[in-house]
Structures are given as structure tokens and as C-alpha cells.
Amino acid sequence: MQKPKNAKLRRFISLAEFKEESNNFCLYFIRGSFGGEVYRTFSHFKRFKRNHPELEKSLTRMVSFASQENRSLPYTHLFKAYKIMSKYVRYNDPDVIDSEGLLDEYFLCR
């Protein structure tokens, strides 16, 4: 059986670019929000969490706190998590390929 191929997602050049274009990536780390709970069920998130449990726990704590207290998000930590999580997205994961059959390179940020 052939191993599923990793999807080549958007590579952000800098933290500033990530902050500007990352949109909804933070939802993976917000407990109690509908979007966050849905995102946390995705296969790529489960792979990330299984392989980086401490990072997932600390980011979930930081992002949930920031969103509840209306504070700045921990973008440096989110950028690190994005770079790691993007390696866990497979071409055969649901919704990675759009309705036109093209790779959604911003998949983690939507």
C-alpha cells in the first residue's frame, strides 16, 4: 500500500506575511467555538496533536485565552504550528482538493 502524499500548501515567507494571510488558522486552537471544534476533528489536526501534544496543549491554552480576553494572538507560536501542521495534510484528506479538482494551498487558513 502506497503512503498518502503530503499536500504542498502555502509557504509563508515571514511571520508578517503569515499574520496577514493566516485568517482562520487560529481556530484549530480555540476550544468551545463551533469552528474550532469542527477543525479539531480533521485528520491532519489529529496527526499534529498525536505527534506534538505539548505544543497543541500550550497553543490551545494561549489562543483560547487571547480570544476570550480580546488580546493579541500568539502569532510566533501559531506560525511554528502552521509549519508543522502543513506537513500532516494529505492530498486525500477531505476538502484539500477544491470542487474544480485543484489543490487549495490555503487549506489550513480557511
Q: Please indicate, yes or no, whether the overall pTM of this predicted structure exceeds 0.75.
A: yes
Domain-embedded: residue 1: no
Domain range spanning residue 72? 15-109
**Angle at which helices 53-68 and 75-85 cross, to 10°:** 140
Tens of pLDDT, residue by residue over 8-48, are 999 999 999 999 998 899 999 998 889 999 999 999 999 99
The one-letter code for the residue type at 32 is: G
Tens of pLDDT, residue by residue over 47-93, are 999 999 999 999 999 999 999 899 999 999 999 999 999 999 999 99
Other C-beta atoms lying within 10 Å of the C-beta of residue 70: 6
Confidence (pLDDT) at 18: 96
Domain-embedded: residue 2: no
Domain-embedded: residue 35: yes
Domain-embedded: residue 8: no
